[in-house]
Structure 1
Amino acid sequence: MKLLILDRDGTLNRSRDDYVASPDEWEALPGALEAVARLNQGGWRVVLATNQSGIGRGLFDMASLNAIHAKMHRQLAAAGARVEAVFFCPHAPEDACHCRKPAPGLFEQIGVRFGVPLMGVPVAGNALRHVQAGSAAGCTPHLLLTGKSEHLRGRAGPDAEADLAMLHPHLPSGTRLHDDLPAFAEWLLAQEVAPT
């Protein structure tokens, strides 16, 4: 099984300074839904792992989160795309749970649910904590320079990973950089093309 784990806010949809707390506030990033469709067509099963501490903080409820995800699934379907499942942590940071990224709990739950070892499973997201959690679970980390990491775009030179490691010292070793989800999808699909 070709499994891929993505972050949600800032990766698939626009992030906000506060929280995406209602369906009206959920807005797909340009090209992101189509990127998921291309990945699906390439045989990838896409799963989301997302921190949603707004629930634990009392800023929105499960009904709101379900409505946000219903809108997301409708828009994905309209683009010919599918996300297999959404795994989320509803806890506030002070709850010290094992599922809030950068802890690897959500990723471990995904591995159990899909019955696959996580070693080498690609994870892509715009937040440091997403790639840290994925790396801690044995996944291969990819940082997207959107959302929380958009400010890093253009700041790395020819040795981008080494340069970015200096800017972002807690980035897991071996993290690959991509401008956005469409660029990551293009890269990932290109890895499967056999040389002629």
Structure 2
Amino acid sequence: MKPAVFLDRDGVINEVLTKRVKFVNHPSQLYLLPGVEQAILAFNQAGLKVFVVTNQGGVGLGFMKEATLHQVHERLIEKLAKADAAIDDIAYCPHKPHEGCQCRKPEPGMLLNLADKHGIDLSKSYMVGDRDVDIIAGKRAGCTSILVAEGEHTDADATFPNLLDAAKWIIKDFDFKKEK
């Protein structure tokens, strides 16, 4: 069983609710946050699997078609590849908020499914998000939960202002756990 890093997408990997973009409903609206490529490359080089787990209620609400969501994710993969960084898989919940599914965070369904599919040890893995629903999903799945946000208060195991700073801590913690 391998460890992994599960990353929320909007607000952790790419811009959302900024001057440039409100929501990412088209590939042209995908802008990576500073340091994301370096953080994901560092995870890759450390031997950590990298997964994206993202609520995409805009599909269920009709703001975007599922095919367009796939195009957004293809653009994400292309942008990361230019920096030699890679994600191993992407899971998304297309359901409307409050639909009661088991995949929409804060439920841990996406993490559990990816862990089963890829042979991941959740107790040695990390969930990185920018909202409480991400932290709760990570904790419910048995992961160390990391908040990437400024001035937020949650029950996260650690908090950092951005993914690159979180990556440095995660890699040190991962190396420490390997030595045990």
The alignment's TM-score, normalised by the length of structure 2, stands at 0.89
Task: Report the counterpart of residue 76 of structure 1 in structure 2.
Answer: 80
Q: Deviations over 1:51-83 (max 9, x none)?
A: 000000000001110111111000100011000
1:22 is the counterpart of 2:26: yes
1:97 is the counterpart of 2:98: no
Please state whether the residue corresponding to 1:49 is helix, strand or coil: strand
Counterpart mapping for 1:37-186 below 5 A: 37-145=41-149, 150=150, 152=151, 164=153, 171-172=154-155, 175-186=157-168
User: Which residue type is aligned with residue 168 of structure 2?
Assistant: E
Q: Deviations over 1:108-135 (max 9, x none)?
A: 1111111233223111111110111110
Runs (4+) off by over 4 Å: none
Please state whether the residue corresponding to 1:48 is helix, strand or coil: strand
Please state whether the residue corresponding to 1:177 is helix, strand or coil: strand
Question: Percent identity over the alignment?
Answer: 31
Contact conserved, 2:12 with 2:162, CA < 8 A, in 1?
A: yes
Task: Report the counterpart of residue 33 of structure 1 in structure 2.
Answer: 37
CA drift at 1:142: 0.6
Contact conserved, 1:23 with 1:68, CA < 8 A, in 2?
A: yes
* Whole-angstrom distance in 1 between the partners of 2:126 and 2:78: 25
User: Which residue type is aligned with residue 76 of structure 1?
Assistant: L
Counterpart mapping for 1:1-12 below 5 A: 1-12=2-13
* Whole-angstrom distance in 2 between the partners of 1:58 and 1:95: 14
| Structure of higher CA gyration radius | 1
Q: Deviations over 1:1-56 (max 9, x none)?
A: 23111110000111137521001111000111111011101111100110000000
CA drift at 1:136: 0.8
Task: Report the counterpart of residue 190 of structure 1 in structure 2.
Answer: 172
Which region of structure 1 is more displaced relative to structure 2, 56-65 or 104-113?
Answer: 104-113
Contact conserved, 2:3 with 2:121, CA < 8 A, in 1?
A: no
Runs of 5+ unmatched residues, structure 2 = none
Task: Report the counterpart of residue 168 of structure 1 in structure 2.
Answer: none
Aligned residues: 173
* Whole-angstrom distance in 2 between the partners of 1:116 and 1:50: 18
Task: Report the counterpart of residue 13 of structure 1 in structure 2.
Answer: 14
Runs of 5+ unmatched residues, structure 1 = 154-163, 165-170
User: Which residue type is aligned with residue 29 of structure 2?
Assistant: E
